[in-house]
Amino acid sequence: MCELELTNKKNKYPMKPIFVFTLICSAFLVYSFSIYLQPVASAKSELPGEGKMVWQKYNCQSCHQLFGLGGYLGPDLTNTYSEAGKGAVFIKAMIEVGTKQMPSFKMDETEMRALLAFLEAMDQTGKSDPRSFTIHANGMISQ
Amino acid sequence: MKNVGKLFFRTALLLLIAGLILGCFAAASYVWPGFLKSQLGFMAMRPLHVSAVLFWILIGASASVYFGLNQLKPNELKSSLAYTQYALWLIAIVGMFYSYAVGDFGGREYWEFNPIWALPITLAWIIFIIQFLRITLQIKGWPVYMWMWLTGLVFFLFTFLEGYLWTIPYFRNALITDMTIQWKVNGSMVGAWNQIIYGTAMFLMDKISGKENTGKSKLAFAMYFLGFFNLCFNWGHHIYTLPALPYIRQIGYAVSMTEWIFFLRIVWNWKNDLNEIRNHYSYFPYRFLMASNFWVLLNLVLALFMSIPAFNLYSHGTHTTVAHAMGTTIGINTMILMAAAFMFLSSGPSIQSKENKAVNGLFWILQISLLLFWLSLIGSGIHKGLWQMEQNRIPFAEMFEQLKPWFILFFIAGLGITLSLGGLAIHLLGNKRKNTF
């Protein structure tokens, strides 16, 4: 297909770009499926998954983060559910009242319950606080 | 058929102007909290801005490929496919904007619109791939940029579809896997459109320098494969702090470190590049390509540090990551697309002196504004990064208030980008002359 051939000096076999392309694509697919087939932190019920839909419906991700991923205007909410002085009541009040920056949201009871279940389940998956990590000599981190 | 690339590029430039203006509105929320809260609010302004600039990049990249295909195989483009693709883009864009305006969200970050609008985007992309293969399968001996275009086209479609796996409960209910896939998608998708845009840069360099062999050199292919390898496997650096499968973190770290090769190559070529700049400096497409090279270097250094988990702890979740995203999308993607727009929408190789003066001024205002914009984001990112590692930290709201001077600089620099880049876009839209493409 391609005139150019990347030659392997040792055995002089041509390595056409199509072979390298196919090789990388295959490795990518194997890697992708290894992730799909090992679900991490599967929720015990459907409710947290439904809560994630509420999170998306009200575009909470525009301002808030989970594990440092998301918007930057508001605080990270990964562990707010279990944070001292916060928790479900605090979250519910913030959603209903809003702040100077954040509008108040008119959620129905079902949506509110699902969203709180989602935040509770996220809280149980791990700690997002960067201070809870240990830095190793090779630059890697662990918790 | 009429050159459809021109229609695509003009549409992309209009989206760029819209994206710039909407970006200023969204940025105003950082300086004046609650700005337009009761009308649109940051919740709608951010996705409006992001979608407009995202589609500037996607449609601009598609336009560049169309111009390239028309050069490689003149008059072979199938107009019915091209116009169907264009119509589907328009349907998707109108749908997305309507979705945001009425608060009909439901999608993921960067694609927050009602997921129904993902359908025309998918169809448009499939049609684009069919058009591409119709033309390119007739060509023997593909230069590297055609491989890059193919890679970008295929992987954009794959990652875009993968980005909707959350609609299936199996994925959605596995909370951490779901987030892993989300960031796998984000990382690889950016890599995919980068392949299309970098491929365009290589195509332009071939045309400007007249050395058609550079696109077939072993080094060019080696760099392409390294970039492709990173597209597939380096995205783990986005989620070092996520409790995902441990090997994702290790693969992400190891693969990201291969990017030092790109860095060394840029440094190695620096002197040659400087000589070339002197030869082609007055030619605007080339100048935008050189600007993109400068931004590649700055962003690569930033990315390399952010890819080291120990440093990532300080930059993750802060505006340093936004600096990287803005440096990439404006500094690299937009500069290359502007180079392509100047080449395809302006006439001939020499730019007239009258035009030169105004365009030259806007070019430099853009570069300086972008540098200030980038530095303001890094400044606020470092501030927040240090705060999040403090043992006895002040509340978030208090820390955020301390970032205000950085946000004011960010807003002013953003205005500078809007005026200069918007001015360049208007200049290109007003350019009615025929070109050689």
A31 in any annotated domain: yes
Q: How many other C-beta atoms can be found within 10 angstroms of the C-beta atom of residue B210?
A: 8
* CATH number of the domain bearing residue A80: 1.10.760.10
**Given an 8 Å threshold on Cβ–Cβ distance, is B317 in contact with A58?**
no
Integer Cα distance of B324 and B259 in angstroms: 15
pLDDT recorded at residue A4: 45
Query: Is the same domain home to A28 and A69?
Result: no
What H or E segment, with its residue span, contains residue B112? strand B111-113
Provide the percentage of residues in chain B whose pLDDT is more than 90.
Answer: 78
Query: Is the same domain home to A11 and A61?
Result: no
Q: What is the mean pLDDT of each run of 10 residues along chain A (143 residues)?
A: 44 70 97 96 88 96 96 96 94 95 94 97 96 95 92
A10 in any annotated domain: yes
**Given an 8 Å threshold on Cβ–Cβ distance, is A130 in contact with B166?**
no
Of A39, A58, A59, the CB nearest to B174: A39
Integer Cα distance of B139 and A3 in angstroms: 11
Where b means 16+ CB within 10 Å and e means fewer, B372-397 reads bbbebbbbbbbbbbebbeeeeeeeee
What part of B 281-310 touches A (C-beta under 8 Å)? 308-310
Integer Cα distance of B261 and B225 in angstroms: 12
Q: pLDDT tens, B48-69?
A: 999 999 999 999 999 999 999 9
Are B127 and B120 contacting, i.e. CB atoms less than 8 angstroms apart? Answer: no
Integer Cα distance of B421 and B21 in angstroms: 11
Structural domain count, chain A? 2
- Chain A residue with CA closest to B46: the answer is A62
CA angle B33, B38, B44 (to 5 degrees): 80
A123 in any annotated domain: yes
- Report phi then psi at A7, rounded to 5: -90, 140
Looking at per-residue pLDDT, the higher value among B1 and B327 belongs to B327
Are B123 and B154 contacting, i.e. CB atoms less than 8 angstroms apart? Answer: no
Concatenated DSSP letters of A12-25: --EE-HHHHHHHHH
Tell me the pLDDT of chain B averaged across its residues. Answer: 92
- Mean pLDDT over B340-346 rounds to 88
Give this prediction's pTM.
0.93
Query: Is the same domain home to A72 and A100?
Result: yes
CA angle A12, A13, A19 (to 5 degrees): 145
Looking at per-residue pLDDT, the higher value among B415 and B275 belongs to B415
Q: How far apart are the first and last CA of chain A?
A: 49
A41 in any annotated domain: no
In the structure, what pLDDT confidence band is assigned to residue B188 with cuts at 50, 70 and 90? very high
- What ipTM was reported for this prediction? 0.92
In the structure, what pLDDT confidence band is assigned to residue B37 with cuts at 50, 70 and 90? confident
Q: A70's torsion region: left (phi>0), alpha (psi -120 to 50) or beta?
A: left
Query: Is the same domain home to A29 and A63?
Result: no
**DSSP H helical ranges for B32-117:** 41-72, 79-101
Chain A contact set for B249 (CB, 8 A): 140
- Report phi then psi at B338, rounded to 5: -70, -40
Chain A contact set for B398 (CB, 8 A): none
Q: pLDDT tens, B149-176?
A: 999 999 999 999 999 999 999 999 999 9
Query: Is the same domain home to A14 and A82?
Result: no
Percent helix, percent strand, percent coil in chain B, to nearest 5: 80, 0, 20
Query: Is the same domain home to A60 and A109?
Result: yes
pLDDT recorded at residue B2: 66
* CB contact B110 to A (< 8 Å): no
**DSSP H helical ranges for B281-308:** 284-306
In the structure, what pLDDT confidence band is assigned to residue B27 with cuts at 50, 70 and 90? very high
* CB contact A29 to B (< 8 Å): no
Query: Is the same domain home to A51 and A15?
Result: no
In the structure, what pLDDT confidence band is assigned to residue B223 with cuts at 50, 70 and 90? very high
pLDDT recorded at residue B169: 93
pLDDT recorded at residue B348: 56
Q: pLDDT tens, B117-159?
A: 999 999 999 999 999 999 999 998 899 999 999 999 999 999 9
Q: pLDDT tens, B385-427?
A: 999 999 999 999 999 999 999 999 999 999 999 999 999 999 9
* CB contact A37 to B (< 8 Å): no
- Burial class for B100, CB neighbours closer than 10 Å (0-12, 13-18, 19+): buried
Query: Is the same domain home to A52 and A30?
Result: no
Of B251, B310, B319, the CB nearest to A139: B310
A137 in any annotated domain: no
What H or E segment, with its residue span, contains residue A29? helix A17-36
Query: Is the same domain home to A79 and A122?
Result: yes
Query: Is the same domain home to A58 and A124?
Result: yes
A70 in any annotated domain: yes
- Chain A residue with CA closest to B182: the answer is A69
Query: Is the same domain home to A52 and A116?
Result: yes
Give the domain extent around A52: 47-131
In the structure, what pLDDT confidence band is assigned to residue B276 with cuts at 50, 70 and 90? confident
Of B175, B233, B249, the CB nearest to A48: B175
A42 in any annotated domain: no
pLDDT at B231 over 70: yes
Chain B contact set for A39 (CB, 8 A): 170-171, 173-174, 177
Query: Is the same domain home to A56 and A104?
Result: yes
A141 in any annotated domain: no
